[in-house]
Amino acid sequence: MAEQVTYTEDNIRSLDWKEHIRMRPGMYIGKLGDGKDADDGIYVLLKEVVDNCIDEYTMGHGRKVEVVIKDDEVRVRDYGRGIPLGKVVDCVSKINTGGKYDSRAFKKSVGLNGVGTKAVNALSTEFVVESVREGQMKRAGFTSGVLTDDAALEATTKRDGTRIRFKPDTEIFKAYRFRMEHVEKLLWNYAYLNTGLSLYLNGEKFRSEHGLKDLLEDRLDSKLRYPIMHLKGEDIEVALTHTDAYGEDYQSFVNGQFTPQGGTHQSAFREAYIRVVRDFFGKDYDAQDIRGGISAAVAVKVEEPVFESQTKTKLGSQDVGPNRPTLKSFVFEFLKRELDNFLHRNPETAQALQARIVQSEKERKDLAGIKKLARERAKKASLHNRKLRDCRLHLTDSKKDRNEETTLFITEGDSASGSITKARDVATQAVFSLKGKPLNSFGLTKKVVYENEEFNLLQAALNIEDGLDTLRYNKVVIATDADVDGMHIRLLLITFFLQFFPDLVKRGHLYVLQTPLFRVRNKKETRYCYDPMEKHKALQDLGARAEITRFKGLGEISPSEFSHFIGEDIRLDPVVIGKEQSLQEMLGFFMGKNTPNRQKFIIENLRVEKDEVTEA
């Protein structure tokens, strides 16, 4: 019989602002993480502080922002107006307090809820704010949101502005580390959206002269079918082009805020673009053909934007502002005027765009028959085999969209998939079992996705035939052995996604699972080690009598042990595309028919690790 629990006045608690933030950090900054993912909490803390600097610049104050990250401590300095000196403590420690509620001071800002810097304060072991205005400075220091230093005003010769220093709390963000590639992308986004603003990261300058046009030029790694169309208007900017890549690639922003999950502004652009192109060419082209291979960046400014969460990853606003048009009509009228005019003035671009649409149309019609057969095979396979062990979230509601918790593990072989299947969280984790090595898809057309049974079933399991809007899992995790064969399978799968579904990688959904190479244990303790250095440390800590097991494959790890590696302490490496080399050039080198060059590269970069520790 369940224990009876009394429910009285004593059970009712009132938390102050910092206690609530520390107890429920996810409500304020989304997931916590350790810094591997671009949306982990430590980057949200940084973004909340920099957002305030951007709002100052947007209102015409300060053209420079300095960010310094060293020893996991962050310093951010702007040269705006500075926080009013009498309200410095309140602005960083009183919830729902700030200048963003006064639309006269901040008409189109990102931070509107009066929460941002308070969350940073509460979730940091050290938080110091300094504000300089007209020759005077106010400083305040906090520990986990508790005021520890309320300094008196002092005279200063420093320039006006605000400086914030914080160090994320290791009790909240366990074993975190800032990855500079994520910070750099964040600062570049600010630079693209705020031409004329200079940002510095540890002395390195980030500045853009041409806004979203620069963004596309820097990030596109496929051959352009025509020069980038760059359109600017009041409160809206658009840059777009087409490549030979499959799928659609969008990057959208609101008031300088990157919205990786899109929202109403991105939907308005996709819909308006179709209407304008159809009207211009006077043909009822299929929407899929018009947008096939598109790469676009869209930025709008909205008064008092409404986001679908505190982390502001998806816009929910329907209007541009009070007494202003809807977002849908605003975006359409802009494209109808500017895009239509651009295409009339640039007939070569219009011709190239139409050629890309016709190519997509031909490919779609050529695939129509085989796609129908492939869908039937996938449907039959999902009923009669066990390649996909789905998670309960989707089994109970097949129409449910992905959420932040869902994961699909792609495994090799029955033993590995069996171990993960038994160890997984059945509510949110699914398993797809490969049969042998996948085909090398480099240089092949999308026809192979439907003709190859493994690719067809994998595509069906992910539900990405028509784009990422219907992706069923937030994380797609490649789980292979750490041997030569496993690495090859990993590379073949990454090639498949980059070749046919590059958006899956670009939007941060593809990962590689890390699993331990060694188990070191004595009678009292067991340690799992992911590399020789961790093994050496475990041997030093556990003593000479420790027993060492070398895991040769995932199938050798028991389900009870596997639960440690795919639970709270899961280690995932995101697959990230760098901009140093063209994607097609990179795939061509590693997966194409250039054997002598690749062989030379392997020989020159081969490294043999010598393990000097004698295993017990």
pLDDT given at position 585: 64
User: What local confidence, expressed as pLDDT, does residue 610 receive?
Assistant: 43
CA distance 110 to 51: 7
Residues in the chain, pLDDT under 50: 1, 101-106, 112-113, 383-384, 398-399, 607-616
> What is the SS3 string spanning 151-211?
CCCEECCCCCEEEEEEEECCCCCCCCCCCHHHHHHHHHHHHHHCCCCEEEECCEEECCCCC
Structure confidence at residue 381 (pLDDT): 63
Name all domains of the chain by residue range, CATH numbers in brackets: 17-206 (3.30.565.10), 212-362 (3.30.230.10), 385-515+553-580 (3.40.50.670)
Report pTM.
0.78
Q: State residue 26's pLDDT score.
A: 83
Indicate the burial class of 71 (C-beta count within 10 angstroms; 0-12, 13-18, 19 or more).
exposed
The per-residue pLDDT for 242 is: 96
Which tens digits make up the pLDDT trace of 566-580? 887 788 888 877 655
User: What pLDDT is stored for residue 453 in this prediction?
Assistant: 86
Q: How many CB atoms lie within 10 A of CB 100?
A: 20
CA separation (Å) from 341 to 83, 431, 525? 44, 50, 71
The burial of 301, by beta-carbon neighbours within 10 Å (0-12 exposed, 13-18 middle, 19 or more buried), is given as buried
Within 10 angstroms of residue 36's Cβ, the number of other Cβ atoms is 15
Report the Cα 444 to chain-centroid distance in Å.
Answer: 28
> What pLDDT digit, counting tens, does each position of 331-385 carry?
999 999 999 999 999 999 999 999 999 999 998 888 888 877 777 777 766 644 5
